[in-house]
Amino acid sequence: MDFIKSQTVGAKFQPSLTSSSHSPYRFLSSTTVADSPSSTMAPPVTVNSINPKVIECEYAVRGEIVILPQKLQEEIKAKPAAHPFEEILYCNIGNPQSLGQQPITFFREVLALCDHPSLLDRSETHVLFSKDSIQRAWKILDQIPGRATGAYSHSQGVKGLRDAIAAGIEARDGFPADPNDIFLTDGASPAVHMMMQLLIRSENDGILCPIPQYPLYSASIALHGGTLVPYYLDEATGWDLEVSELKKQLEAAKSKGIDVRALVLAEENQMEIVKFCKEEGLVLLADEVYQENVYVPEKKFHSFKKVSRSMGYGEKDIHLVSFQSVSKGYYGECGKRGGYMEITGFGADVREHIYKLASVNLCSNISGQILASLVMSPPKVGDESFELYSAERDGILSSLARRAKTLEDAFNKLEGVTCNKAEGAMYLFPRINLPAKAIKAAGEARTAPDAFYCRRLLTETGIVFVPGSGFGQVPGTWHFRCTILPQEEKIPAVVTRLTDFHKLFMNEFRE
């Protein structure tokens, strides 16, 4: 980061050290060693002296669930027979390209050209790159002041890229979008943190979150010292949301003195929700990162902005924040850390403070910004890349749909397991009725029953699921989260290994 004093880089340090020797010995010899480094006092920082909010914060999709599989994989690499399986099957994180999903060619062509613009002056480039990727790269470079992809941008992101995103939102919703409402972020997570930082003043501020929820929300609320006000999604109706449940939880929170500020959710009986948020004065935090992940023909994505506007609610009627990310969809570009939030309904003075929060990290990364503009304005009919682009996109989405169906069917065939239909996103969240003996064994092993099951599954089959307890579940019910992302040729292995393991597990703990 900037640092404003002109530094004297160790000048006072040792005049005799201005030689550029790298040898520690010569270095030491020319150095008078300070008083013996006896560690008399306690270290300044211990777990007892760090921010307790950091301690409280939990993040179920990382940590042991990631570290243990890595350990196992290293053991297999070192000794192939170390475990009863030759490879780890990752079904735990929404990280498609880590499992072999290929990036969309057009997007990567444009990124490469923007990273190394001098390619655009070379004739060979026209052999290597599609015509429209070259045109798009020129267009983007012209939108970036000085064509400097290596410069900090406006804190909200490059204006021209926000224009492209706003145009994409308008085309999607049929309602206007203002580039000045768009904040480009390094993925959607920083956007969520920014909003939590803005809304949470103390533990008396509450955020309504669905259970099961994605742990980012609980983690962010904990880090910012707020209170997560849970509402349960109804598994019996395919994880539907009853507004009566929302009202119940809101009233319960209010009676405890909690000032509920916002509601987090993905699409669900949207008109009722919008009305509810307006009436209760809640900020609607719409997680819309799965807008492209729709696998059933009778379903279609409707943004909360489109729904609110179509209900006649304008800017002044509802505070609405929509999160989008390049990590999901058919693109799955998690490592690029691109995304945006569209903020509508906030006053100019509040907006200034949101802008300030964005500017404290200067700006999001430019490749991520470019990619966010590309996913919102992909190749169109007639563009040279369109055929390849749509083939790649449709190939990914139809394959995800097939994988979701296969896994869903496999889960529903397992004794004591029920799994809802996967209509979108990248995950299944099957429920498992564990035998009392298994729950007892888990207790003795000091783990939650679902964690106990997942750990056994991992160590015996190499399949990585995330225990439902990390996402929240109705007390007394147990689940695990399984992504639909292993490549299609791996799915049969997941199914057979899981099925065999489950039979043995259930028999082992049968009463």
Site for a copy of itself in 438-467 (CB under 8 A): none
Q: Which stretch binds a copy of itself (CB under 8 A): 76-84, 287-295, 374-382, 436-444?
A: 287-295
Q: Which stretch binds a copy of itself (CB under 8 A): 116-124, 443-451, 455-463, 488-496?
A: 116-124
Kindly identify the residues of this chain, within the stretch 265-284, that bind a copy of itself according to CB under 8 A.
266-271, 274-275, 278, 281-283
311-333 burial string, b = 16+ CB within 10 Å, else e?
A: eebeeebbbbbbbbbbbbbbbbb
Considering the rule CB under 8 A, would residue 78 count as an interface residue with a copy of itself? no
Near a copy of itself by CB under 8 A: residue from 305, 337, 393, 497: 337
Cβ at position 472, least distance to a copy of itself in Å: 9
Instruction: State which residue, 98 or 507, has the beta carbon closest to a copy of itself.
Output: 98
* C-beta atoms surrounding 433 within 10 Å: 12
Per-residue DSSP letter, 339: E
Contact by Cβ (8 Å): 31, 14: yes
Q: State the Cα–Cα distance between residues 81 and 79, nearest whole angstrom.
A: 5
The one-letter amino acid at 241: L
Considering the rule CB under 8 A, would residue 145 count as an interface residue with a copy of itself? yes
Q: Which two tokens stand for residue 59?
A: 């993040």
Beta bridge partners of 480: 467
Host H or E run for residue 187 = none
* C-beta atoms surrounding 471 within 10 Å: 22
Q: What are the CA-CA distances from residue 447 to residues 47, 154, 467, 469 (Å)?
A: 23, 48, 11, 10
Kindly identify the residues of this chain, within the stretch 45-64, that bind a copy of itself according to CB under 8 A.
45-47, 49-55, 57, 59, 61-63
Contact by Cβ (8 Å): 426, 40: no
Kindly identify the residues of this chain, within the stretch 406-425, that bind a copy of itself according to CB under 8 A.
420-425
Q: Which stretch binds a copy of itself (CB under 8 A): 32-40, 81-89, 391-399, 440-448?
A: 32-40
Considering the rule CB under 8 A, would residue 17 count as an interface residue with a copy of itself? yes
Q: Which stretch binds a copy of itself (CB under 8 A): 341-349, 409-417, 446-454, 456-464?
A: 341-349
Kindly identify the residues of this chain, within the stretch 206-225, that bind a copy of itself according to CB under 8 A.
210, 212-214, 216, 219-220, 223-224
- Provide the mask over 372-401, with x wherever binding to a copy of itself is found by CB under 8 A and - wherever it is not: ------------------------------
- Provide the mask over 466-495, with x wherever binding to a copy of itself is found by CB under 8 A and - wherever it is not: -----x---------x--------------
Considering the rule CB under 8 A, would residue 204 count as an interface residue with a copy of itself? no
Q: Which stretch binds a copy of itself (CB under 8 A): 365-373, 379-387, 439-447, 500-508?
A: 365-373
Nearest one of 190, 195, 327 to 263, comparing CA atoms: 195
Cβ at position 508, least distance to a copy of itself in Å: 28
Instruction: State which residue, 429 or 452, has the beta carbon closest to a copy of itself.
Output: 429
Contact by Cβ (8 Å): 333, 294: no
Considering the rule CB under 8 A, would residue 257 count as an interface residue with a copy of itself? no
119-157 burial string, b = 16+ CB within 10 Å, else e?
A: bbeeeebeeebbebbbebbeebbebbeeeebeeebbbbb
Q: Which stretch binds a copy of itself (CB under 8 A): 307-315, 379-387, 448-456, 497-505?
A: 307-315
Contact by Cβ (8 Å): 239, 269: no
Q: State the Cα–Cα distance between residues 343 and 326, nearest whole angstrom.
A: 18
Instruction: State which residue, 225 or 441, has the beta carbon closest to a copy of itself.
Output: 225
Near a copy of itself by CB under 8 A: residue from 68, 76, 95, 384: 95
**At 174, is the secondary structure helix, strand, or coil?**
coil
Near a copy of itself by CB under 8 A: residue from 204, 310, 406, 447: 310
Q: Which stretch binds a copy of itself (CB under 8 A): 75-83, 339-347, 382-390, 437-445?
A: 339-347
Contact by Cβ (8 Å): 282, 262: yes
Contact by Cβ (8 Å): 116, 86: no
Q: Which two tokens stand for residue 484?
A: 């639909």
Near a copy of itself by CB under 8 A: residue from 68, 76, 85, 99: 99
**At 287, is the secondary structure helix, strand, or coil?**
strand
* C-beta atoms surrounding 353 within 10 Å: 12
Cβ at position 244, least distance to a copy of itself in Å: 14
Q: How many positions of this chain bind a copy of itself (CB under 8 A)?
A: 190
The one-letter amino acid at 434: L
Q: Which two tokens stand for residue 420?
A: 């809802």
Q: Which stretch binds a copy of itself (CB under 8 A): 29-37, 374-382, 388-396, 457-465?
A: 29-37
Phi and psi, residue 148, nearest 5°: -95, 90
Instruction: State which residue, 262 or 506, has the beta carbon closest to a copy of itself.
Output: 262
Kindly identify the residues of this chain, within the stretch 122-141, that bind a copy of itself according to CB under 8 A.
122, 124-125, 127-128
Phi and psi, residue 387, nearest 5°: -60, -50
Cβ at position 9, least distance to a copy of itself in Å: 5
Near a copy of itself by CB under 8 A: residue from 319, 431, 456, 497: 319
Cβ at position 272, least distance to a copy of itself in Å: 8
Kindly identify the residues of this chain, within the stretch 157-196, that bind a copy of itself according to CB under 8 A.
171-175, 186-190, 192-193
Q: State the Cα–Cα distance between residues 156 and 154, nearest whole angstrom.
A: 5
Q: What are the CA-CA distances from residue 315 to residues 164, 318, 347 (Å)?
A: 21, 6, 10
